[in-house]
Amino acid sequence: MSKNLEQFPAKVCLTAAGCLIHEDRVLLVKHKKVGTWLCPGGHIEENELPHRAAEREFWEESGVRVEAYDPFQPEATDDSQYLPSPFLTNLHWVSRDNYERRVNQGVETENTKIWSNGCEQHLNFLYLVKPVGAIEHQLNEKEVSDIRWFYQEELEQLSLFGNVRLEINRAFKLINNQ
């Protein structure tokens, strides 16, 4: 790319996801667009807090109601409210092709919008979540093609993006050290 990258910053969308570990297993969905296993999550809506987006997206994709939590959150001493912190935040490409076409053309065209809202990168906030009520999952066929529980050792057999495996292993480590 010969163009000045500052002139063409990547279009970043904010996303949030939840990692539910229950009885030594993690609940993952096989995302239709990406074709791989992920923690349930998606785009943060306007005026939505990131942890609430993770909870909403988890429900929409899995049918399981969850609540985001922070195992290291301090107790409030006044009227302030502490919100759950993500245990990991990452920036990753979702459509480098769109970005490169836009940079090389110098303008945005409708052909560069492969992803529904034009994202080129996602800034994802990943939260630990716990179930609120029953944990019987339901497949949302609109967004995911499969949903299953996995033991940590089974992750090695799955086709996962490297960062997803790392993130889930980090969640297991946090859960086991509580």
pLDDT tens for 64-75 read 999 999 988 877
Range of the domain at 116: 12-73+80-176
Output the pLDDT for position 116.
46
Give the CATH number, domain containing residue 120: 3.90.79.10
User: What per-residue string of b and e applies to 1-16 under the rule 16 or more CB within 10 Å gives b?
Assistant: eeeeeeebebbebebb
Distance separating alpha carbons of residues 41 and 19, to the nearest angstrom: 9
Output the pLDDT for position 7.
64
For residue 159, give the amino acid letter.
S
Q: Is 118 within a domain?
A: yes
Residue 99 or 138, more confident: 138
Q: Is 4 within a domain?
A: no
For residue 9, pLDDT beyond 90: no
Number of structural domains found in the chain: 1
pLDDT tens column, 110-127: 544 444 457 888 999 999
Give the pLDDT band (50/70/90) at residue 10.
confident
Q: Is 36 within a domain?
A: yes
Q: Is 39 within a domain?
A: yes
Q: What is the pTM (predicted TM-score) of this model? A: 0.86
Chain mean position to CA 148: 17
Tell me the average pLDDT across 81-94: 91
Q: Is 124 within a domain?
A: yes
Give the three-class secondary structure for 104: helix
Compute CA distances 150 → 33, 127, 134, 155, whole Å: 21, 18, 18, 7
